[in-house]
Amino acid sequence: MILMEQTWRWFGPNDPVSLADVKQTGATGIVSALHHIPHGEIWQADEIEKRKMEIEKARLTWSVVESITVHEDIKTRSGNYKKYIEQYKTSIRNVASCGIPIITYNFMPVNDWTRTSLDYEILTGAKALYFNWVDLAVFDIFILKRKGATASYNDNIQQQAEQRFKSYSPEQLDSLSGVVMFGIPGEKRITTADMLKKLEAYTDIDRNDLQENLSHFLSEIAPVAQECGVKLAIHPDDPPFPILGLPRIVSSMEDFNYILNRVNNPANGVCFCTGSLGASSKNDLAAMAKEIGERIHFIHLRNIKKDEEGNFFEAEHLGGDNDMYAIMKELLLIQQKKGTPIPFRPDHGHQMLDDLNKITNPGYSAIGRLRGLAELRGLEMGILRSL
């Protein structure tokens, strides 16, 4: 009976959740990144070792790198993309030399994950991350003022967005703008001017172009990863549908088949994120896990609740629309066949109890994730005993 490796995302020394806190959760592995290193620059071995030693001093293991950010020049295959690919290869080699076996990354253009509220109050009184199409349209059409933005929304959404924009105070509009462009904790915030400039780079890049750019990138780095004994795990688009006029290419089983078959290298694999993929009603997550199989190198487990318009909030880990029992069972069957533990982490968590009065990284407060980890561990043990 092989249990999944229990890990915890930690954003480094400035994370409000300390390594001592993590140690008390029962997690044994840490998922971390060097967020202070600018996108595209080389992760030097001494910097990696410094972070690794800090983690090991707390009697934990740095199990997964999440993430080495892919520079925008690589995604657009323009400018200095060749240089940045070579530097990415060097970072892979340096991570491997420090004994960290998995690197997660994403290929989302411009923005990382996108939400419209970081403190949506659910029925329990806890707070969750939330995505609302009307609020995104308010940002896109009236704050960002992206050229052609109205074409991305139906008439009903546009009308609601116009009314909501008029009702919002300047403070509310500023807050919405900050949330949509939030990005990763610990990294530099961008402005609307920055975002518009980045969006312009994708004016002539469609879905097929972006797929080709990803394929080229993977054809360059996957052999290096395989040679070094490192597994690559691409994270799905979050949310898994086009936003802000940008294409999405890691959102469905069709996308994963393209990625895994186009560069059919065992080092080229998937970070199976049930929250990101579950935001699309088109995805059958248990079936997808079964089809991807042993090419799943890392797992994010969380749940979401959608409405008829496609808005969603992040629900309890065992609640929401995703059948976590069926998903977990399929993942455990894959793991037994694989014969080695697959690391997973409780992805995101509600801000609840004492954390409601603390400054926390959105989605990454301690108590909500601790609840999720406990629930997922219990579900895992129950399924394994029943197999």
- Which among 84, 130, 135, 300 is annotated as catalytic? 300
Q: Is residue 364 annotated as a catalytic residue, yes or no?
A: yes
Burial of 151 (0-12, 13-18, 19+ CB in 10 A): exposed
Return d(Cα 189, Cα 183) in angstroms, integer. 7
Q: Is 297 a catalytic residue?
A: no
In terms of DSSP bridges, do strands 127-131 and 117-121 run parallel, antiparallel, or are they unpaired? Answer: antiparallel
How far is the C-alpha of 4 from the C-alpha of 373, rounded, in Å? 12
Q: Which of 71, 235, 297, 350 is catalytic?
A: 235
Given the residues 238, 347, 350, 355, select the one marked as catalytic.
347
Alpha-carbon 383 to chain mean position:
26
DSSP 356: G
- DSSP-derived secondary structure for 162-173: HHHHHHS-HHHH
Contact call for residues 274 and 317 (beta carbons, < 8 A): no
Burial 220-246 (b: 16+ CB within 10 A, else e): bbbebbeebebbbbbbbbbbbeebbbb
Residue 320's nearest CA partner among 308, 305, 307, 310 is 305
- Two tokens, residue 146: 């992206």
Catalytic residue among 273, 317, 350, 355: 273
Rg over CA atoms, the chain: 20
204 counts as catalytic: no
C-beta neighbour count of 193 within 10 angstroms: 9
Strand 127-131's sheet: what is its strand order? Answer: 117-121, 127-131, 312-315, 303-306
- Candidates 71, 297, 348, 350; catalytic one: 348
- Which among 81, 84, 105, 364 is annotated as catalytic? 364
Chain length of the chain: 387
Q: Compute the distance between CA of residue 278 and CA of residue 305 in angstroms, rounded to an integer.
A: 9
273 is catalytic: yes
Distance CA 364, CA 361 (A): 5
Report cis status (omega within 30 of 0) of the bond before 67: yes
**Residue in this structure with the two tokens 């290419």, named with its chain if needed:** 249
List the catalytic residues: 235, 273, 300, 347-348, 364
